[in-house]
């Protein structure tokens, strides 16, 4: 069977993505051809600035349907960018460029060129302008997907927040049985399809120690009944479990996935445990979308010391 290419959108042009991309492809070999969607002029300037000019074989593609993709080179689709400066401050100037890169990638996905997609880090404040909670929501809206989940994946342990990028004061209002149930089903189906296993899933409570002095107890009224419903469907699911102990080493490795009620409840410990050795996978899309688990990191641009591990793991995951 023909190996499908990996689409890579560079994301924010004023970020550490170029450095970690160059590090990834010069230190690793991949079976899958890589299609990079970004500005040719910009990448040439970045390569020169970071001293990678002679190490990367870059070929510009004009007609992808007639072009024979090669995994020994980077196949580039050129998207014009008006501000082709090697590094500058992140601003709204790059918004239309980023959107055009996404449009190109989405077009190729819809034309069945591939089902593998990686996007580089994007500044949510400037690009999304509070229209979406995050890039996950932006992409899902473009494909009309309402049932989705954010899985921060490591082969030893993964996590999933029920709510993403919400202020803490809004979290409790957004916790409901349907949301928890749907995300657990997505996770269970993903592990069965990708790895052929029935994952062991733990769900943490919303409140400290799964207790509250409030009149309404979300853990008893929402979380626990939903878990019981999933147990009745023969899923390997446990909880609610107190968030302050679930990540202890004698407990966490009893599970494949830990589900939290809000973003930092599970992302903080997973990043502490694995640092850059984790990837952000969007479940529910008709293709596999991965984002390296870090942001643009504007302060580190051009310093040549950024960690490329998350992008390397992203490429390895899709290299099939």
For 286-310, how does the pLDDT look when each residue is reduced to its tens digit (9 = 90+)? Answer: 999 999 988 888 788 778 899 999 9
Of 44-58, 177-191, 270-284, 288-302, the least confident: 44-58
pLDDT at site 253: 92
Residue 1 confidence (pLDDT) above 60: no
> Both 139 and 13 in a single domain?
yes
pLDDT at site 301: 79
What percentage of the chain reaches a pLDDT higher than 90? Answer: 80
> Both 190 and 300 in a single domain?
no
Residue 175 confidence (pLDDT) above 60: yes
Over residues 19-37, mean pLDDT = 95
- Which tens digit of pLDDT belongs to each residue from 110-128? 999 999 999 999 999 999 9
Hey, is 305 helix, strand or coil?
Answer: coil
pLDDT at site 302: 77
- CA nearest 300: which of 265, 267, 276, 268? 276
> Both 156 and 195 in a single domain?
yes
The continuous run of DSSP H or E covering 130 comes out as: none
- Which tens digit of pLDDT belongs to each residue from 207-220? 999 999 999 999 99
Residue 54 confidence (pLDDT) above 80: no
Per-residue pLDDT band at 190 (split at 50, 70, 90):
very high
Residue 85 confidence (pLDDT) above 90: no
> Both 162 and 247 in a single domain?
yes
> Both 291 and 158 in a single domain?
no
Which residue range is the domain that position 135 belongs to? 1-145+285-320
State which of 42-46, 91-95, 171-175 shows the largest mean pLDDT: 171-175
> Both 45 and 139 in a single domain?
yes
> Both 186 and 102 in a single domain?
no
Of 17-21, 49-53, 89-93, 203-207, the least confident: 49-53
In DSSP notation, 182-213 reads: HHHHHHHHHHHHHHS----EEEE-SSGGG--S
Per-residue pLDDT band at 70 (split at 50, 70, 90):
confident
Q: How far is CA 21 from CA 5, 52, 314, in A?
A: 16, 11, 11
- Which tens digit of pLDDT belongs to each residue from 145-172? 999 999 999 999 999 999 999 999 999 9
- Write down the mean pLDDT value for the chain: 93
Degrees, nearest 5: CA angle 154-156-160: 50
Can you give the CATH number for the domain in which 76 is found? 3.40.718.10
> Both 140 and 18 in a single domain?
yes
Terminal Cα distance for the chain, rounded:
10
Residue 86 confidence (pLDDT) above 60: no
pLDDT at site 105: 98
Over residues 70-98, mean pLDDT = 85
> Both 8 and 138 in a single domain?
yes
> Both 239 and 293 in a single domain?
no
- Which tens digit of pLDDT belongs to each residue from 219-261? 999 999 999 999 999 999 999 999 999 999 999 999 999 999 9
> Both 274 and 297 in a single domain?
no
> Both 207 and 124 in a single domain?
no
Q: How many domains does the chain have?
A: 2
Asked whether the beta carbons of 64 and 112 are under 8 A apart, the reply is no
């Amino acid at each position: 069977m023909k190996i499908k290419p990996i689409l890579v959108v560079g994301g924010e042009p004023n970020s550490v993505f170029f450095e970690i991309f160059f590090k990834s492809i010069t230190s690793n070999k991949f079976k899958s051809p890589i299609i990079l969607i970004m500005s040719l002029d910009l990448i040439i300037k970045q390569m020169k600035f970071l001293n990678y000019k002679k190490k990367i074989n870059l070929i510009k593609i004009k007609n992808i349907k007639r072009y024979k993709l090669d995994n020994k080179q980077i196949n580039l689709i050129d998207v014009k960018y008006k501000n082709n400066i090697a590094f500058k401050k992140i601003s709204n100037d790059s918004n239309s460029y980023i959107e055009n890169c996404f449009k190109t990638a989405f077009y190729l996905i819809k034309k069945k060129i591939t089902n593998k997609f990686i996007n580089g880090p994007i500044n949510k404040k400037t690009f999304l302008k509070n229209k979406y909670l995050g890039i996950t929501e932006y992409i899902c809206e473009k494909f009309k997907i309402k049932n989705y989940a954010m899985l921060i994946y490591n082969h030893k342990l993964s996590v999933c927040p029920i709510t993403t990028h919400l202020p803490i004061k809004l979290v409790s209002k957004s916790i409901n049985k349907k949301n928890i149930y749907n995300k657990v089903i997505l996770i269970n189906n993903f592990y069965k399809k990708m790895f052929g296993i029935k994952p062991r899933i733990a769900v943490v409570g919303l409140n400290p120690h799964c207790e509250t002095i409030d009149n309404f107890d979300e853990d008893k009224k929402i979380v626990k009944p939903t878990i019981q419903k999933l147990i009745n469907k023969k899923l390997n699911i446990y909880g609610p479990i107190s968030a302050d102990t679930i990540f202890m080493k004698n407990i966490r490795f009893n599970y494949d996935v830990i589900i939290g009620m809000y973003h930092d409840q599970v992302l903080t410990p997973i990043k502490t445990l694995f640092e850059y050795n984790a990837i952000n996978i969007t479940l529910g899309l008709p293709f596999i979308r991965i984002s390296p688990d870090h942001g643009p990191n504007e302060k580190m641009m051009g310093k040549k010391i950024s960690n490329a591990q998350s992008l390397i793991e992203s490429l390895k995951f899709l290299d099939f």
